[in-house]
Amino acid sequence: MFKEIRNRFIRYAVIVIYAIILLVCMVEVNFLWLFGYSPTARDIRRPIQHVASEVYTADSVLIGRYFKEDRSPVPYDSISADVVNALVATEDIRFFRHHGVDFLAIFSSIASAVRGEPRGGSTITQQLAKNMYRTRYSQSAGLLGNVPGVGVLVFKLKEWLTAYKLENNYSKKDILAMYLNTVSFSNNAYGIKTVARRYFNKETSELSATEAAVLVGMLKGTTRYNPVRNPERSFERRNVVLGQMHKAGMLTNEAFEAAKTAPLGLRLGETEELGSGDSYLRAAVERWLADWCTEHGYDIYLDGLKIYTTIDSRVQRHAEEAVASQMGTLQQRLENAWQGEIPWRDSDGQVIEGFLEALAERTTYYAQLTEKYEGNKDSIFHYLNLPKTMEVFTWDGPKEVQYSSMDSLAHYAMMLNAGLMTMDPYNGEIKAWVGGINHEYYKYDHVFQSKRQAGSTFKPFAYLAALEAGMSPCDKYTDKFVRINYVENGEKKVWEPKNADWVFSGREMSLRWAMGRSVNSITAQITEEVGWDKVVDAAHRCGITSPLASVPSVSLGSNDVSVFEMVNAYATFMNKGEKVQPILVSAIVDYHGNTVASFKTATTRVISEEVAWLMGYMLRGTMEEPEGTSQALWEWDLWRKNNQIGGKTGTSSDYVDGWYMGVTKDLVTGVWIGCDERSIHFRNSQTGEGSRTALPVFGKFMEQLYQDDSLAYGYGPFPEPGVEITRKYNCPSPRIIQPDSTAVDSIAPLMLPDRLPEIPVDLEELEQRIDINAPAVEGQK
Residue 770 predicted with pLDDT over 60: no
CA torsion, ordered 549, 555, 557, 559, to nearest 10 deg: 10
According to DSSP, the β-strands at 62-66 and 508-510 are unpaired
pLDDT over 80 (residue 333): yes
> pLDDT at position 762, please?
41
How do strand 189-190 and strand 70-71 relate by DSSP bridges? parallel
* Residue of 21 and 288 predicted with greater confidence: 288
The pLDDT of residue 738: 54
User: 398 φ, ψ to 5°?
Assistant: -55, 140
pLDDT tens digits, 620-679: 999 999 999 999 999 999 999 999 999 999 999 999 999 999 999 999 999 999 999 999
- CB atoms closer than 10 angstroms to residue 282: 20
Give the per-residue pLDDT at 129: 81
Q: Are strands 53-56 and 306-309 parallel, antiparallel or unpaired?
A: parallel
- CA distance linking residue 93 with residue 192, whole number of Å: 20
Contact present, 38 and 55 (Cβ < 8 Å)? no
Mean pLDDT across 546-558: 96
User: What pLDDT, on the 0 to 100 scale, is given for residue 604?
Assistant: 97
The separation between the first and the last C-alpha atoms of the chain, rounded to the nearest angstrom, is 101
According to the model, what pLDDT value does residue 661 have? Answer: 98
Q: Average pLDDT, stretch 319-345? A: 95
What's the pLDDT score for residue 120?
63
| Contact call for residues 551 and 486 (beta carbons, < 8 A) | yes
Please name which of 212, 178, 184 lies closest in space to residue 82, comparing C-alpha atoms.
Answer: 212
Pairing of strands 306-309, 585-589: antiparallel
How confident is residue 114, by pLDDT bands cut at 50, 70 and 90? low
**CB contact at 8 A, 141 and 152:** no
Instruction: Specify the pTM.
Output: 0.76
Could you please report the per-residue DSSP string of 542-586?
Answer: HT--S----SGGGGGT-SEE-HHHHHHHHHHHHTTTEEE--BSEE
In order of 352, 527, 564, the CA distances from 408 in angstroms are 18, 45, 30
- Residue 244's pLDDT is 94
Q: Are 713 and 705 in contact (CB under 8 A)?
A: yes
What is the per-residue pLDDT across 37-88, written as a single tens digit (0 to 9) for each?
666 666 666 665 677 899 999 999 999 888 877 667 889 999 999 999 999 9
Rg (CA), the chain: 35
Q: What does the pLDDT read at residue 29?
A: 61
Q: What is the DSSP string of 48-97?
A: ---B-EEEE-TT--EEEEE-SSEE----GGGS-HHHHHHHHHHH-TTTTT
Q: Is 500 helix (H, G, I), strand (E, B) or coil?
A: coil
**Maximum average pLDDT range among 134-138, 267-271, 699-703:** 699-703
Coil, strand or helix at 595: strand
Q: With bands split at pLDDT 50, 70 and 90, how would you rate the model's confidence at 194?
A: confident
Pair 190, 183: CB distance under 8 Å: yes
C-alpha pair distances (Å), 105 with each of 121, 160, 175: 5, 13, 19
Out of 157-161, 422-426, 682-686, the most confident range is 422-426
| Mean pLDDT along residues 180-204 | 85
Q: Residue 317: which pLDDT band, with cuts at 50, 70 and 90?
A: very high
> Distance between CA 716 and CA 702 in Å, rounded?
13
Total number of residues shown for the chain: 781
Percent of the chain with pLDDT over 90: 66
Q: What is the four-CA torsion angle of 281, 285, 290, 296, rounded to 10 degrees?
A: -160
Which of 641-655 are b and which e, b meaning 16 or more Cβ less than 10 Å from the residue's Cβ?
A: eebbbbbbbbbbbbb
Of residues 702 and 23, more confidently modeled: 702
Query: What percent of the chain has a predicted confidence (pLDDT) above 70?
Result: 84
CA distance 717 to 711: 18
Which residue in 131, 165, 138 sits closest to 43, CA to CA?
Answer: 165
Alpha helices, DSSP H, located in 115-268: 124-133, 150-169, 172-182, 192-200, 209-217, 231-247, 253-261
Q: Which residues, including other chains, have CB under 8 Å from residue 215's CB and lie 6 or more apart?
A: 83, 86, 185, 192, 195, 196, 199, 207
Specify the higher pLDDT residue, 548 or 114. 548
Instruction: Look at residue 46 in the predicted model and tell me its pLDDT.
Output: 64
Q: Tell whether the torsion through CA atoms of 702, 744, 756 and 522 is positive or negative.
A: positive
Half-sphere exposure of 510 (CA within 13 A, CB side): 21
pLDDT number for residue 185: 82
| pLDDT value of position 719 | 95
pLDDT for 168 equals: 85
